[in-house]
Amino acid sequence: MQLRPVNCAGTLFLALLLFVSGTTIDAHNITRILAKHPEFSTFNHYLTLTHLAPEINGKTTITVCAVDNAAMNELLSKHLSIYTIKNILSLHVLLDYFGAKKLHQITNGTALAATMFQATGTAPGSAGFVNITDLRGGKVGFGAENNGGTLSAHFVKSVEEIPYNISVIQISNVLPSDAAEAPTPAPSQQNITAIMSKHGCKVFADTLLANEAESTYMDNLDGGLTVFCPMDDVFKAFLPKYKNLTAAGKTALLLYHGVPVYQSLSMLKSNNGLQNTLATDGASKYDLTVQNDGEEVTLKTKVDTAKITGTLIDEQPLAIYTVNKVLLPPELFKAEAPTPSPAPAPEPAADAPAAPKSKKKKAAPAPEDSDAPADSPDNAADQTADDNGAVRFDGARYISFIVALVFGFLLV
Ligand SMILES: *[C@@H]1O[C@H](CO)[C@@H](O)[C@H](O)[C@H]1NC(C)=O
Ligand SMILES: *[C@@H]1O[C@H](CO)[C@@H](O)[C@H](O)[C@H]1NC(C)=O
Ligand SMILES: *[C@@H]1O[C@H](CO)[C@@H](O)[C@H](O)[C@H]1NC(C)=O
Ligand SMILES: *[C@@H]1O[C@H](CO)[C@@H](O)[C@H](O)[C@H]1NC(C)=O
Ligand SMILES: *[C@@H]1O[C@H](CO)[C@@H](O)[C@H](O)[C@H]1NC(C)=O
Ligand SMILES: *[C@@H]1O[C@H](CO)[C@@H](O)[C@H](O)[C@H]1NC(C)=O
């Protein structure tokens, strides 16, 4: 009887602990911080509307330059689209920690801070940087870097500092920036294949353009779309295998590289787990697992694991990332067998001894064909993808090659 309340308290404590540890994935909550200060309610509201708030919460060593409601009203009177407002506000999020003390003690009196606008990949030249300069009389000036050297705003006060995770400061007004204020095309006007082509994913983009999958991508633009596009060298090496797929297989493979939801990088980092793709259709799962390892985000299919290597565009509701491997759905490709079984009728596979195969031959000069890992052409192409990817995979393969060599030597 006596124990019950104790138990209750214990359970409550545990629940609280779980709750707290569950929420520390985001070390801070900008919405909650600003909610304590009604003079920033408009700024706060727009951080939520533009989905910048979760982006901010997912980052540490960051400074948010907030402006008061009067300054926000001035911005809103320009009747800009929400996408343009997002660019402007992202220019007010500095990717470094500037507390009041550091602001007044900048080395050499001036510094350029990269911003979230820079990180979207849409800021031309140095437009994504903010110039911070210590001025006479203890003033600190702020200006968008490509704004002709004009320091158009100044530091007002520190709002909240959690060293060195997040510093929220007030600046006098919105930083004018022609680049950030440039009309941002609505997502339905974005040409995703053009974006990919311009940034090292032309082979994938051209393949997509030649396939009916392209219209599915376009149909999902407005509702939210995340694309994982393999870099040119990777997709080029994969083309022989692609060409061997059936028409339906080709479309499914291309659709497998899109997710019908917008996800920023920090959303991907904090939303690990299974995700459906554009290829998902009832019983045909075509799903993949998103998993982050620190700052790295990986995409695991049951066949291979790709890594996100870059951001081509991240503007709600469209995100396009580059990946270092072609995502191979288990519905189309066999997983690498853990134990080599005698050639289980190879899947759609590379034909002629193309580049992938010869490369592989060089890397592993047959340490007694018996335990050469079931050399289905599938494996060959997969491993070529590895060649273009993470260094540690190469290292692992190198080590196993040495081991195999030594083992082979001992047998002789
Ligand atoms: C800062 O962030 C780190 C990592 O998210 C966290 O472990 C730490 O507790 C945070 N510090 C404070 C003062 O909140
Ligand atoms: C942040 O705080 C706001 C307001 O308190 C809350 O609605 C929101 O769910 C919080 N977000 C996270 C990620 O905890
Ligand atoms: C400060 O100025 C000196 C001399 O001009 C220069 O060598 C140094 O790199 C500067 N430091 C920073 C942090 O800009
Ligand atoms: C920042 O702007 C000021 C004023 O235009 C200029 O003197 C200074 O060199 C700039 N700082 C940097 C780091 O570019
Ligand atoms: C998008 O750009 C590509 C070139 O990358 C072009 O072939 C295609 O027609 C464009 N699509 C639209 C809808 O403008
Ligand atoms: C395609 O895959 C089949 C097995 O599914 C294989 O026999 C053939 O060599 C591959 N290449 C071509 C060009 O058909």
Distance 133 CA to ligand 4 centre (A): 7
User: Quick one: pLDDT at residue 132?
Assistant: 96
Distance 165 CA to ligand 2 centre (A): 17
Provide DSSP, 286-326. Answer: --EEEEEETTEEEEE-SS-EEEEEEEEEEETTEEEEEESS-
Burial class (CB in 10 A: 0-12, 13-18, 19+), 15: exposed
Distance 191 CA to ligand 5 centre (A): 6
Was domain 21-181 assigned CATH 3.40.50.1100? no
Ligand 6 neighbour 351 (Cβ under 6 A): yes
Task: Check pLDDT > 70 for residue 376.
Answer: no
Tokens 């910048």, residue located: 52
> Which residue's CA lies nearest to atom 7 of ligand 3?
108
Ligand 3 neighbour 108 (Cβ under 6 A): yes
Ligand 6 neighbour 348 (Cβ under 6 A): yes
- Residues 301 and 115: their CA atoms lie apart, in Å, by 33
Task: Check pLDDT > 60 for residue 290.
Answer: yes
For the segment(s) 187-323, the CATH number from 3.30.420.40, 2.40.170.20, 2.60.120.10, 2.30.180.10 is 2.30.180.10
Distance 53 CA to ligand 5 centre (A): 33
> Which residue's CA lies nearest to atom 4 of ligand 5?
194
Q: Which two tokens stand for residue 411?
A: 């047998």
Q: Cα dist. 230→181, 359, 393 in Å?
A: 31, 20, 17
Neighbours of 370 (CB within 10 A): 9
User: Quick one: pLDDT at residue 336?
Assistant: 63
Strand order in the sheet with 258-259: 258-259, 225-230, 318-323, 305-315, 296-300, 288-293, 273-275
Mean pLDDT over each residue of the chain, to the nearest integer = 79
pLDDT-derived band at 337 (thresholds 50, 70, 90) equals: low
Domain locations in the chain?
21-181, 187-323, 359-411
Ligand 2 neighbour 23 (Cβ under 6 A): yes
Q: Which residues of 55-71 are buried (b: 16+ CB within 10 A; e: fewer)?
A: bbbbbeebbbbbbbbeb
User: Quick one: pLDDT at residue 119?
Assistant: 83
- Residues 121 and 136: their CA atoms lie apart, in Å, by 35
* Whether the domain at 21-181 and the domain at 187-323 fall into the same CATH topology: yes
* pLDDT tens digits, 51-100: 899 889 988 999 999 999 999 999 999 999 888 999 999 999 999 999 99
Task: Check pLDDT > 90 for residue 242.
Answer: yes
The verdict on pTM exceeding 0.85 is no
Least confident range from 33-47, 153-167, 273-287, 375-389: namely: 375-389
Name every protein residue with a CB atom under 6 angstroms from any ligand 1 atom.
27, 60, 162, 165
What is the rounded average pLDDT of the residues 190-202?
A: 94
